[in-house]
Amino acid sequence: MDKLEAVQKVLRFSDKVREWCESENSVFFDDFDNHNVDDYDGGYGGLADQIIDKGLEEKILDDEDLAEL
């Protein structure tokens, strides 16, 4: 699973994380793409990492999902 897929999976299956992302960061599901999830200079790289961490905490993702990252 690549980074974009991991972010999308968490946002799709966790209302809590999706609401946090939208309310605290004003970033929505459709705002993420293959380029900006890896961009740490003006993109959403840091936010994507936080979403993935929250997905791990909520057990939406596991280590096997992140093996390719």
Is the confidence at residue 11, as pLDDT, over 80? yes
User: For the segment 13-22, what is each residue's pLDDT rounded down to a tens digit?
Assistant: 999 999 999 9
Q: With respect to residue 22, please indicate whether it lies within any of the assigned structural domains.
A: yes
Q: With respect to residue 7, please indicate whether it lies within any of the assigned structural domains.
A: yes
Tell me the percentage of the chain whose pLDDT exceeds 90: 88
Q: With respect to residue 69, please indicate whether it lies within any of the assigned structural domains.
A: no
Q: Could you tell me the residue range of the domain that residue 40 belongs to? A: 3-57
- Length of the chain in residues, anyone? 69
Q: With respect to residue 27, please indicate whether it lies within any of the assigned structural domains.
A: yes
Q: With respect to residue 8, please indicate whether it lies within any of the assigned structural domains.
A: yes
Query: Mean pLDDT throughout 23-34?
Result: 97
Nearest residue to 30 (alpha-carbon basis) of 46, 13, 18, 20: 18
Q: With respect to residue 20, please indicate whether it lies within any of the assigned structural domains.
A: yes
Q: With respect to residue 62, please indicate whether it lies within any of the assigned structural domains.
A: no
Whole-structure pTM value: 0.94
